[in-house]
Structure 1
Amino acid sequence: MTNRLEALEDWAAGLLGQLEPASRNKLARSVGQALRRSQQQRIIAQQNPDGSEYAPRKQRNLRGKQGRVKRKVKMFQKLRTATFLKVKADGSTIRVGFTGRIARIARVHQFGLKDRAERDAPDTRYEQRELLGFTDTDLGLIRDALLTHLIDQ
Structure 2
Amino acid sequence: MSDDLHALEAWAGALLAKLQPAQRRAVNHKVAIDLRRSQAQRIKAQQGPDGAAYPARKRRKEFKGKNGRIKRQKAAMFAKIRTAKYLKVHADPGQLTVGFVGKVMHIARVHHEGLTDSVSKKGPKYSYPARPLLGFSEEDRTLVRESLLTHLAQT
TM-score normalised by length of structure 2: 0.90
Q: Which amino acid is the alignment partner of residue 20 of structure 2?
A: E
What is the aligned counterpart of 2:108 among 94, 106, 110?
A: 106
Distance 2:60 2:154 in 1: 54
Q: Which amino acid is the alignment partner of residue 3 of structure 1?
A: D
Distance 1:68 1:145 in 2: 44
Comparing 9-18 with 32-41, greater Cα deviation is found at 9-18
Matched, 1:69 2:72: yes
Deviation at 1:62, TM superposition (A): 4.5
Distance 1:10 1:3 in 2: 10
Moved over 4 A (4+): none
Q: Which amino acid is the alignment partner of residue 78 of structure 1?
A: K
Contact 2:30 2:151 in 1 (8 A): no
Helix, strand or coil at the partner of 2:33: helix
Distance 1:84 1:93 in 2: 20
Distance 1:11 1:4 in 2: 10
> In structure 2, what is the equivalent of residue 9 of structure 1?
9
Comparing 26-35 with 6-15, greater Cα deviation is found at 6-15
> In structure 1, what is the equivalent of residue 54 of structure 2?
54
Q: Which amino acid is the alignment partner of residue 49 of structure 2?
A: P
Deviation at 1:150, TM superposition (A): 3.1
Spell out the pairing of 1:1-153 with structure 2 (5 A cutoff): 1-62=1-62, 68-70=71-73, 72-153=74-155
Let me know the Cα RMSD of the aligned residues. Answer: 1.6
Deviation at 1:44, TM superposition (A): 1.1
Helix, strand or coil at the partner of 1:87: strand
Q: Which amino acid is the alignment partner of residue 109 of structure 1?
A: H
Q: Which amino acid is the alignment partner of residue 127 of structure 1?
A: P
Deviation at 1:99, TM superposition (A): 0.6
Helix, strand or coil at the partner of 1:8: helix
Deviation at 1:2, TM superposition (A): 2.2
Distance 1:151 1:34 in 2: 16
- Residue identity over aligned pairs, in percent, reads 48
For residues 37-67 of structure 1, give each alpha carbon's deviation from its aligned partner in whole angstroms, at most 9, with x where no partner exists: 001110111110100111110112356x767
Comparing 31-40 with 115-124, greater Cα deviation is found at 115-124
Distance 1:151 1:131 in 2: 31
User: Which ranges in structure 1 are unaligned for 5 or more consecutive residues?
Assistant: none
Q: Which amino acid is the alignment partner of residue 76 of structure 1?
A: F
